[in-house]
A = this chain, B = another copy of it.
């Protein structure tokens, strides 16, 4: 594992390390012939730059740290691909780190990447994150951070989001247009700004249609399948009547669907359902699920663009908040 260094090249060619360093990075001062010589020697001796040393010296890194709740969510894996696309083209490398929806892990991972001196962060908050001091401290130290999807509602943070309020309103209005009036909302953790937005959109759509808001139709739970399943089970056990469901995301909608099917309740005959995110499963399940298409890949790309522009300190600072469009995809469940 003995490494060939710039010094070896220097010795080999009878040049100084500074000349080698410059030649390798194609510095304009260096004679073309010298560059050729250096490159040839580098190849011959199997030289490989030590990025760790370079980073130490330059206090600069080309690694972007991604902090997300869980890789397995289709939304996040697509977003990662978007980030990678942009990052690689700009010469950056990407490190992914999952918080597993755990605030503590989020802090630990963030700190680990910070100590490794990543160039910047792209973050989507965990469900259990009560405050973002661990990010604010870094921001104060000059670390560049861009939040996406699960962001913190504060004006001076960079973020890439969708209009959850509007998307949710679209979803619920769609249910109303189909003649539904008793619309259940399976809400997510209200600490998450996007879940709050979706709840507000739900209320707004009802109000616009003149349907009175009924607290009993709103169930608060998590973001996973079993949350949806349990909520609907409870609702039915309580004999609360409803004709449709708007779930905070697709997994929750899937859970609800499973329980209804198990109970032999027809979808959409007896109950209509709308999800949120357009996970692949929504297309293949039976009945296929009406849902909101969230531009995951695009969100990732945008977040990376903003971050890189921040890292490069480009003038014409990017906007603090970027909002991308969503679409309602109508399928069999409504």
A243 within 8 A of B: no
A95 within 8 A of B: yes
Are A77's CB and B72's CB within 8 A? yes
- Nearest neighbor of A141 in chain B, beta-carbon distance: B1
**Which residues from 40 to 81 on chain A have a C-beta closer than 8 Å to any C-beta of chain B?**
48-53, 55-56, 61, 63, 70-72, 74, 77-78, 80-81
- Nearest neighbor of A143 in chain B, beta-carbon distance: B1
- Can you tell how many copies of this chain the complex includes? 2
A35 within 8 A of B: no
A115 within 8 A of B: yes
Contact of A51 (CB < 8 Å), options: B100, B108, B116: B116
A94 within 8 A of B: yes
B residues in contact with A72, CB < 8 Å: 74, 77-78, 81
Q: How far is the CA of A108 from the CA of B88 in the complex (A)?
A: 10
- Nearest neighbor of A93 in chain B, beta-carbon distance: B112
Q: How far is the CA of A142 from the CA of B254 in the complex (A)?
A: 48
Interface stretch among A19-27, A189-197, A277-285?
A: A277-285
Are A95's CB and B95's CB within 8 A? yes
B residues in contact with A71, CB < 8 Å: 71, 77, 80-81, 96
Are A116's CB and B98's CB within 8 A? no
**Which residues from 100 to 144 on chain A have a C-beta closer than 8 Å to any C-beta of chain B?**
100, 108-109, 112-117, 141-143
Q: How far is the CA of A116 from the CA of B53 in the complex (A)?
A: 9
A244 within 8 A of B: no
Within the complex, the shortest CB–CB distance from A329 to chain B, in Å, comes to 17
Max count, chain B CB within 10 A of own CB: residue among A74, A98, A100, A258: A98
Q: How far is the CA of A285 from the CA of B141 in the complex (A)?
A: 49
Return 24 A-B CB contacts under 8 Å, by A number.
Answer: A1-B143, A48-B115, A49-B115, A50-B115, A50-B117, A51-B115, A51-B116, A51-B117, A52-B52, A52-B55, A52-B117, A53-B56, A71-B80, A71-B96, A72-B74, A72-B77, A80-B98, A81-B98, A88-B108, A93-B112, A93-B113, A96-B96, A281-B284, A285-B286
A84 within 8 A of B: yes
A272 within 8 A of B: no
A97 within 8 A of B: yes
- Nearest neighbor of A96 in chain B, beta-carbon distance: B96
B residues in contact with A97, CB < 8 Å: 93-94, 96
